[in-house]
Structure 1
Amino acid sequence: MSKALEKFLSENLDDLKSKGLYNEIDILEGANGPKIKIRGRELINLSSNNYLGLANDERLKKAAKEATDRYGVGAGAVRTINGTMDIHDELEKTLARFKGTEAAIAFQSGFNCNMGAISAVMTKKDAILSDELNHASIIDGCRLSGAKIIRVKHQDMEDLRAKAKEAIASGLYEKIMYISDGVFSMDGDVANIDGIVEVCKELDIISYIDDAHGSGVMGKGAGTVKHFGHAKNIDFQMGTLSKAIGVVGGYVAGTKDLIDWLKVRARPFLFSTSLTPANAAACIEAIRIMEEDPSLHQKLWENGDFLKKELKNLGFNIGASATPITPVIIGDETLTQKFSRRLIEEGVYAKSIVFPTVPMGTGRVRNMPTAQHTKEMLLEAVRIYEKIGKELGVI
């Protein structure tokens, strides 16, 4: 190894560890369900994005197996050569119907969506107004576009309006976009879609909502934009296929012209092999289940409301979450890491989230109840939280 590289890695890894910012990766011995096994121990799992439990659903497994038998394990090419199969076309039509838009495009991941879609439309001649707490993939997509990035105070519509007017008045930009998460994954708060639509319409700004954590959760499963009745008023609806839908991938839903443009200009779509046929088939089945049976969605919200109420009653700071995402905000990074380790030792797998994922000094243990959790599992998790909270002086 180069001495310069060795020095860089050694010094920086040691620095992260000393500050409580080094994250160790745990290996699951089996499926990512309501309980998981790590190093031979069974733990109540509160760290999964598998909101509806569909990642382990037998109906999705059956659809994936049948698609593999019919199409093979891989698509064999990028979408624009001959990697588009009828199963991909069916998935995109299903997504468009589900989201209430003219068309949709599927990508290999949600991160790829934001990297590809933003930079396909925005250029160095443009400006992007971005909520200050947006996901890393949004930030990277904005940077890749070369557009001027203007940070907007979190969920502050007056700051959005003022900065948008300033950008317009400057005369420097051909196009201006506002981009926001639909559900903010670290705090669980929901974007002000009504306010966003009002400002963007008033000032003729392109609107982009990243609904990774809203898809399958808000709007009876159809997402945050649909929840507020604005499927026709948001230009870009981005979502993932890897969280509530339970598989892998991402998508953008919008007008036919927008989707046609992304199919010829979004670089991850152009230069990466298509989603596997099994993934596409499983996603279609997941959407069918969500459309036909609301019970999983209802159970998710019941569990989320219950866990939030119990943790708040114990005196934990759970922030302003309006979704099943339930942060326990501790603050100090080292204490947050210690709290998470003690939870795991006692039987609850809830990972710490610290800088740079969240601002310095706002470390939290993030809890993600799912439709698969039983009341008994959640009660046991609350009991352990109370024990560790008192032990470490958090409550």
Structure 2
Amino acid sequence: MADRDAPDRGFDPEKPLADRESRDLRRVLEPAEGVTARTRFAPDPKGDEPAFADEERLVFAANNYLGLADDPRVERAAADAASDIGTGAGASRLVTGDTALHRALERDLAETKDAERALVFSSGYAANVGTVGALDPDVIFSDELNHASIVDGCRLSGAKTVVYDHCDADALADRMAERAESDPAADERWLVVTDSVFSMDGTVAPLEAICDAAERHGAWVMVDEAHATGLHENGGGIVQREGLSDRVDIQMGTLSKALASQGGYVAGDEPLVELLVNEARSFVYSTGLAPPAVGAAREALRIASEGDVRDGFWANVEYLRDGLASLGFEILGDSHILPVLVGDRSDALALADRLRDSDVVAPAIRPPTVPDGTSRIRVAPMATHTEADIDACLDAFEREATQLDIV
């Protein structure tokens, strides 16, 4: 029991929560019944059991792009891995948690990414933080809209971080030239880091121009393919689509989006992977990825590489994009992520709520995640959405936005 005369050096969680509430930033957990294109949701039960609603809702908010999270083939691969190896790796991979299945997935990823070798981490976040830290760069050039895991990797590395304008290779080149001119004799290691597909804007980084700028200064390039892995030729990402495998030094990605599992990976040359095995703290000090997740990701990668599911996915993306545009909405970006620009944060929140009332789940993205005046609804179709599902989404957007006088 605390001494009554002792000063209060504890924490008051209710105060920051109230602050978030006052700024419309407090979020709650809402359990879903399944990871599918249509499912039931429950209000946040806190510590109690969820009580799912009677009606199902269409999910246009997931990163399960190929709809493989409930694919029987992927489920069977996860079950087989659990039966053959166990439900958990049991230790860090440097101790006893390294299995033949981990190595098989890494070989598949390396082949997909046209790399010598790949290394699987417990999450994409761990892959980014661990890789940047293990490289120990002196200067990092980072896109201003890079994912939080990249931002945290930059912070934890202790490197000088230079932020350049979003998807602007000319701005990157300028920042690199300025750094070089400030101390021409400096013996520095430089790393350029960018997402390939940006999850809130749907934009695609100009990777070829970024490689051009980096090569002029002898810098390495690291590309986060979290939202692109599995969606392009042979299950690759934007790096493969653009034919840049031999120019991107570090290819990072996740197993938790299109590959419908859990974990992250890094692909590159053999010495890079060996360095990460020894120096990436988020790899060294984490239990190996659970075998069922490894098995599921490997099967999902195989399915993605065949192309049929990918073709259906991209057909859905174009159908939904064209439909939203025909209703008068401005769709940002040029990828499979479709941010529907609303502008005002209150309007975006109201539209997201009304869409949910119409059984369509698509979240409002508002400041500080995006700049003032650019609040939006983030829409992400899946390969498993039917044409009727997409039509229902479009009908809900038209009806609810019209009632709110947004279009």
TM-score of the pair, normalised by structure 2: 0.92
Indicate which of 17, 35, 40 corresponds to 1:37: 40
Equivalent residues of 1:220, 1:297 under 8 A apart: no
User: How big is the shift at 1:155?
Assistant: 1.3
Residues 106-131 of structure 1: CA distance to partner in whole angstroms, max 9, x if unpaired? 001101111100111024xx010111
Asked whether 1:24 is paired with 2:36, we answer no
Residues 102-159 of structure 1: CA distance to partner in whole angstroms, max 9, x if unpaired? 0001001101111100111024xx0101111111111001101000011101111111
Q: Which moved more, 1:10-19 or 1:56-65?
A: 10-19
Equivalent residues of 2:202, 2:334 under 8 A apart: yes
Alignment size in residue pairs = 389
User: How big is the shift at 1:13?
Assistant: 1.9
Q: Work out the CA distance in 1 between the residues paired with 2:325 and 2:36.
A: 25
Asked whether 1:146 is paired with 2:158, we answer yes
Equivalent residues of 1:327, 1:366 under 8 A apart: yes
User: How big is the shift at 1:220?
Assistant: 5.0
Residues 308-361 of structure 1: CA distance to partner in whole angstroms, max 9, x if unpaired? 111111111212x22111111222223222211111111101112223332343
Q: 1:21–1:332: structure 2 CA closer, same or farther, 3 Å change rule?
A: farther
Q: 1:219–1:152: structure 2 CA closer, same or farther, 3 Å change rule?
A: farther
Indicate which of 15, 25, 30 corresponds to 1:11: 15
Q: For the aligned residues, what is the CA RMSD?
A: 1.6
| Shift >4 Å, 4+ stretches | 1-7
User: How big is the shift at 1:16?
Assistant: 1.9
Structure 1 stretches lacking a partner, 5+ long: none
Q: Which moved more, 1:323-332 or 1:374-383?
A: 323-332
Q: Work out the CA distance in 2 between the residues paired with 1:141 and 1:6.
A: 27
User: How big is the shift at 1:70?
Assistant: 1.1
Q: Work out the CA distance in 1 between the residues paired with 2:348 and 2:10.
A: 30
Amino acid of the structure 2 residue aligned with 1:28: A
Matched residue SS, 1:252: strand
Indicate which of 246, 249, 253 corresponds to 1:235: 249
Q: Work out the CA distance in 2 between the residues paired with 1:92 and 1:118.
A: 20
Q: Which moved more, 1:325-334 or 1:205-214?
A: 325-334
Matched residue SS, 1:56: coil
Residues 68-108 of structure 1: CA distance to partner in whole angstroms, max 9, x if unpaired? 11111111110111110111111111110111100001001
Matched residue SS, 1:150: strand
Asked whether 1:336 is paired with 2:348, we answer yes
Equivalent residues of 2:130, 2:280 under 8 A apart: yes
Pairwise mapping of residues 1-395 of structure 1 onto structure 2 (< 5 A)? Answer: 7=12, 9-29=13-33, 31-38=34-41, 39-40=52-53, 41-123=55-137, 126-171=138-183, 172=186, 174-291=188-305, 293-319=306-332, 321-395=333-407
Which of the pair is proportionally richer in helix? 1
User: How big is the shift at 1:5?
Assistant: 5.5
TM-score of the pair, normalised by structure 1: 0.95
Equivalent residues of 1:167, 1:173 under 8 A apart: no
Residues 219-260 of structure 1: CA distance to partner in whole angstroms, max 9, x if unpaired? 453001000001111001000000000000000100011111
Q: 1:384–1:316: structure 2 CA closer, same or farther, 3 Å change rule?
A: same
Matched residue SS, 1:149: strand
Equivalent residues of 2:112, 2:234 under 8 A apart: no
Q: 1:141–1:6: structure 2 CA closer, same or farther, 3 Å change rule?
A: closer
Q: Match of 2:44? A: none
